[in-house]
């Protein structure tokens, strides 16, 4: 189609849409923990942690203010600066955890507590604080259920078995510090399931099926232009929406707004902790490049167009979802797997009825729907 001209978009080449080139790529581990661990608020599970420290901090004249507590994943890809950092390792019922103290935090603690001290004295002070921190963490964990805790030896780098963790940023007497509580797969799985159970508590079993649609967006045309718009070979712009701002419709009503992402190639689908719902479009529609929907917020309006215009909606797939999945997806930034979406099968709807079908194409970093079939 080189040199093809589309009204209003100049001369250029409309190319087949490539999700792995045009979308953010999500790793398997991000998908797996997106609705549980990565959405959790870890501080809620350690209600007595501060009580373990208040007397000591008062004695030492230290004022501590927590700035943020943030779950994070894939420490091999986004590690803290561990050059010179100190890592203290322990286990809970055999599952590894560690406290990683970056160089700046190590230097500040040792400078405040042992000013002018030698390296051995600094290490002893930081080791004491680290051991106390991990012990307090385990003892104040409301879900620990008297699990066996063991402290192991100090290490200079984070071992590979630590998949994710919780980053804690705080101020000590006004000085900004941070530490990372690194977690192995077993503890990540446990926290993931704890949060899922907490979010879905009281919702009953994963039964019932509610119709779900993935709508890329809408365009608006006057009735007099409709016949000239739905023409085979014509590429239609998506005026409201697109891959960066598309929509999930629940029971034919706008529900969640979000964006499309591409799953990293070469990875199999994550095992969903909540069973429920058919694959979007049928098996024969499976194409290379599996898609994900990442939620952002609930949709607040119905995307009405200018008065007197006809709305074209671009639907990329449909499915069913149960109540538990609905609750998990209502969390911002949760990921929903769309394993069988075919970008060559876009339904063009008018008033909820299929008026044509098309495929996604790209032009100058924009996504269009090219009409390729009109029902007779």
Per-residue pLDDT reduced to its tens digit, 153-164? 666 555 678 889
Block residue for tokens 């060559």: 344
Among 152, 172, 199, identify where a domain stops. 199
Domain tally for the chain? 2
- Give the pLDDT score at 58: 85
- Give the pLDDT score at 2: 39
pLDDT in tens, 83-94: 667 888 888 888
Among 199, 224, 253, identify where a domain stops. 199
* Residue 280 and residue 248 in contact, taking contact as beta carbons nearer than 8 Å: no
Among 166, 199, 232, identify where a domain stops. 199
Claim to verify: residue 231 and residue 329 sit in the same structural domain: yes
Q: Residue 286 sits in which domain range? A: 15-31+207-373
Strands (E), 142-277: 149-155, 162-172, 175-184, 210-221, 235-237, 240-241, 246-250, 253-263
Q: Strand, helix or coil at 233?
A: coil
CATH number at 112 reads 3.40.1550.10
Claim to verify: residue 252 and residue 340 sit in the same structural domain: yes
C-alpha torsion sign, points 152, 155, 158, 161? negative
- Give the pLDDT score at 288: 44
Claim to verify: residue 21 and residue 43 sit in the same structural domain: no
106: left (phi over 0), alpha (psi -120 to 50) or beta: alpha
Claim to verify: residue 326 and residue 346 sit in the same structural domain: yes
Does residue 10 belong to any structural domain of this protein?
A: no
Claim to verify: residue 358 and residue 211 sit in the same structural domain: yes
Claim to verify: residue 178 and residue 250 sit in the same structural domain: no
Does residue 7 belong to any structural domain of this protein?
A: no
Claim to verify: residue 183 and residue 235 sit in the same structural domain: no
- Give the pLDDT score at 206: 58
C-alpha torsion sign, points 166, 169, 170, 172? positive
Please count the residues of the chain: 376
Helices 49-60 and 119-140 cross at an angle (nearest 10°) of 150
Q: CA–CA separation, 110 vs 174, rounded Å?
A: 16
Claim to verify: residue 106 and residue 149 sit in the same structural domain: yes
DSSP 282-313: -GGG--SS-EEEEEEEE--S----STT-EEEE
130: left (phi over 0), alpha (psi -120 to 50) or beta: alpha
- Regions in the chain scoring below 50 on pLDDT: 1-6, 8, 10-11, 267-289
Claim to verify: residue 119 and residue 232 sit in the same structural domain: no
Q: Is 31 exposed, middle or buried (0-12, 13-18, 19+ CB in 10 A)?
A: buried
pLDDT in tens, 186-234: 999 999 999 999 999 876 655 678 999 999 999 999 999 999 999 999 9
């Amino acid at each position: 189609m080189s040199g093809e001209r589309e009204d209003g978009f100049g001369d250029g080449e409309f190319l087949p849409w490539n999700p792995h080139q045009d979308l953010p790529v999500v790793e398997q581990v991000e998908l797996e923990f997106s609705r549980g661990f990565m959405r959790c608020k870890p501080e809620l599970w350690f209600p007595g942690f501060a009580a373990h420290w208040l007397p000591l901090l008062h004695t030492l004249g230290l004022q501590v203010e927590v700035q943020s507590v943030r779950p994070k994943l894939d420490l091999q890809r986004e590690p803290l600066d561990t050059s010179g950092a100190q890592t203290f390792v322990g286990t809970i019922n055999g599952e590894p955890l560690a406290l990683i103290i970056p160089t700046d935090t190590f230097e500040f603690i040792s400078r405040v507590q042992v000013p002018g001290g030698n390296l051995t004295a600094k290490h002893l002070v930081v080791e004491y604080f680290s051991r106390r921190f991990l012990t307090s963490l385990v003892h104040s964990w409301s879900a620990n259920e008297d699990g066996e805790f063991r402290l192991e030896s100090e290490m200079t780098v984070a071992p590979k078995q630590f998949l994710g963790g919780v980053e804690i940023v705080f101020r000590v007497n006004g000085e900004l510090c941070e530490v990372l509580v690194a977690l192995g797969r077993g503890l990540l799985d446990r926290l993931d399931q704890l949060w899922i159970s907490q979010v879905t508590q009281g919702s009953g079993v994963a039964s019932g099926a509610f119709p779900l649609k993935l709508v890329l967006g809408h365009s608006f045309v006057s009735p007099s232009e409709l016949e000239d718009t739905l023409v085979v070979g014509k590429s239609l712009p998506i005026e409201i929406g697109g891959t960066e701002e598309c929509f999930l419709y629940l029971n034919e009503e706008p529900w969640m707004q979000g964006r499309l992402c591409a799953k990293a190639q070469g990875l199999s689908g994550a095992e969903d902790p909540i069973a429920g719902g058919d694959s979007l479009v049928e098996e024969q529609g499976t194409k290379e490049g599996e898609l994900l929907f990442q939620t952002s917020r609930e949709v607040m309006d119905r995307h009405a167009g200018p008065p007197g215009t006809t709305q074209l909606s671009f639907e990329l797939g449909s499915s069913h979802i149960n109540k538990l999945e609905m609750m998990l997806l209502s969390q911002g930034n949760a990921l929903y797997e769309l394993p069988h979406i075919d970008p060559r099968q876009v339904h063009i709807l008018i008033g909820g009825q299929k008026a044509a079908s098309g495929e996604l194409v790209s032009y100058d970093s924009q996504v269009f729907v090219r009409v390729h079939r009109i029902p007779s």
